[in-house]
Chains A and B, each alone.
Chain A
């Protein structure tokens, strides 16, 4: 079965760091563009970051310079290192597979909750 499972969320103080993981199964993660998307409680979807098949990366303006996306092919896993966290980073973070044949996100994980609070 093709699926994505996130982990690593939790409660962190402002200014702190957290590393999220996304484990892929049923497909080879490095063959696709892989994205992180977040959603604050009761709010809409916000795109965060992407790592392309060639390892190229892009970030939203709100996280650029603070977050780093990476992947580990041997573990078929995607990561998001989040530094200098702010209260406004509080959200459910989900990974998603970008299918460029469709020009859309065709597989999503269920997400992991990140709460930034003192």
Chain B
């Protein structure tokens, strides 16, 4: 299953609302997770089963789905949110990740 993530790069300002999209090549039954990765660090789980917020993750992060299209939205971008974000499907082996979206400061 291929995951097409867009955009691959996003330039935004603190306080902006940003949305990242992940499209699956076939149905994945909501088994989609979102991770945040900062340089030199391990990925951190943000969202699982498409829209459930992981414990301890700020509520400005949210996930949505419509068919095979999934979204990660940050309602008001904070300085600590500048990072790279990845989607991942856990419906079928071989598991796959999206190509990543790097969010940088405008």
**A47 contacts B96, C-beta separation under 8 Å:** yes
**B88 contacts A109, C-beta separation under 8 Å:** no
Name the CB-closest residue of A to B93: A58
Report if A104-B48 is in contact (Cβ < 8 Å); known contacts: A44-B86, A45-B43, A110-B42.
yes
Q: Which residues in B have their C-beta under 8 angstroms from that of A61?
A: 94
**B97 contacts A103, C-beta separation under 8 Å:** no
Judged by a CB distance under 8 angstroms, whether A32 is at the interface is no
Chain A interface size, as a band, is 20 to 34
Most A Cβ at <10 Å: residue of B37, B44, B45? B45
User: What is the bound-complex CA distance between A101 and B90, given in angstroms?
Assistant: 12
Chain B interface size, as a band, is 20 to 34
Residues 89-100 of B, flagged 1 when their CB comes within 8 A of A and 0 if not, give 010011111111
**B97 contacts A109, C-beta separation under 8 Å:** no
Name the CB-closest residue of B to A4: B42
Name the CB-closest residue of B to A49: B94
Judged by a CB distance under 8 angstroms, whether A77 is at the interface is no
**B97 contacts A44, C-beta separation under 8 Å:** yes
User: What is the bound-complex CA distance between A58 and B42, given in angstroms?
Assistant: 22
Residues 8-49 of B, flagged 1 when their CB comes within 8 A of A and 0 if not, give 000000000000000000000001010101000111110011
**Between-chain CB contacts (< 8 Å), 7 pairs:** A44-B98, A44-B100, A45-B37, A46-B97, A102-B52, A104-B45, A105-B43
